[in-house]
Amino acid sequence: MDYISQLIQRYPVLGKNEEDIRLFCGMLINCYESGGKLLICGNGGSCADAEHIAGELMKGFLKKRPLSEEKKAQMISVAPELENINVDMLQQGLPVFTLNSGSALTTAFANDCDPELIYAQQVLAMGKKGDAFLGISTSGNAKNVYSAAVVAKSLGIKTAALSGRNGGRLKEVCDVSIVVNEDETFKIQELHLPVYHAICATVEEHFFKE
């Protein structure tokens, strides 16, 4: 199913973003096929969007994503009592790390070092070539998100931005930029949600056929 074409039909204003949306889907698919992970971050509402995306990719979104019988047997062989637990409820996931979720690390680094580098530090610590990075900023100018994108690119990580207005500094540094055609923060966020839902559905469709 072509979720991106459906997205454009429902939101014609996103027509100019179709190519970049498809490019990011391809980037993310290549990342997962090579054994990589998605590193993602944002602030405020964009922070919530980052968590939302992780929730759609790390478990079933539109697909059920059942575990293989072999995988379930492996688990039960390690701990036979798992037979008494409904292992059928476990699902296959696509790895995502939300850089905004580590409150102890981010607050310590902000206090001891530099709050503008709270995400960059995490990218430096755990990012590797083959991963993908998505920075969400409605203006494209969030300093901590931009710094993380710069570090990611320096490590050979493919980078993408989800923003609005003119794309800001993120557009300048990222390999792919999805810049929705709105200027007000809440209106930008209203368009970001259907965009990333279509992305998650497209990537899930590639890996999970059931």
* pLDDT at 52 exceeding the cut of 70: yes
Only one residue has tokens 């995306």, namely 53
What is the rounded average pLDDT of the residues 48-66?
Answer: 96
pLDDT of residue 72: 85
| 83, pLDDT greater than 70 | no
- Does one domain contain both 16 and 106? yes
Which CATH number fits the domain that encloses residue 108?
3.40.50.10490
Q: What is the mean pLDDT of residues 101-110?
A: 90
Confidence of residue 85 (pLDDT cuts 50, 70, 90): low
Average pLDDT of 78-84?
70
Number of domains in the chain: 2
Residue 86 reports pLDDT greater than 80 = no
Distance CA 42, CA 188 (A): 14
The pLDDT-based confidence of 82 (bands split at 50, 70, 90) is low
Considering Cα of 72, then 52, then 19, then 23, what sign does the dihedral take?
A: negative
> In angstroms, rounded to a whole number, what is the distance separating the alpha carbons of residues 107 and 130?
28
Residue with tokens 């792919």: 176
Q: Examine the domain organization and report whether 100 and 87 are in the same domain.
A: no
Q: Are residues 109 and 44 in the same domain?
A: yes
Query: Do residues 72 and 144 share a domain?
Result: no
Residues 88 and 109 in one domain: no
pLDDT at 188: 98
Of 77, 92, 107, which residue sits at a domain end? 92
Do 86 and 126 lie in one domain? The reply is no
Q: What is the mean pLDDT of the chain?
A: 95
128 and 153 within one domain? yes
Q: For the ranges 16-20, 76-80, 119-123, 155-159, which has the lowest average pLDDT?
A: 76-80
Percent of the chain with pLDDT over 90: 86
Q: Is pLDDT above 70 for 184?
A: yes
Give the structural domain span for 140. 3-58+93-207
> Rounded mean pLDDT of 192-210?
95
Are 78 and 176 in the same domain? no
Asked if residue 157 and residue 71 are part of one domain, the reply reads no
Task: Report whether pLDDT(14) > 70.
Answer: yes
Q: Which residues contact 78 (CB under 8 A, 6 or more apart)?
A: none
Q: How confident is the model at residue 175 (pLDDT cuts 50, 70, 90)?
A: very high
Weakest mean pLDDT among 15-29, 48-62, 72-86, 116-130: 72-86
pTM of the model: 0.94
Mean per-residue pLDDT, 71-76:
85
- Domain end, chosen from 92, 107, 142, is at 92
Q: Are residues 47 and 132 in the same domain?
A: yes
Picking from 129, 131, 134, 130, the residue whose alpha carbon sits closest to that of residue 177 is 134
Residue 5's CB is within 10 A of a number of other CB atoms, namely 12
Looking at the structure, do residues 155 and 199 belong to the same domain, yes or no?
A: yes
Q: Token digits for 129?
A: 């070539």
Q: How many CB atoms lie within 10 A of CB 28?
A: 25
Could you tell me if 137 and 198 lie in one domain? yes
In angstroms and rounded to an integer, the radius of gyration of the C-alpha atoms of the chain is 18
Q: How far apart are CA 56 and CA 208, in angstroms?
A: 13
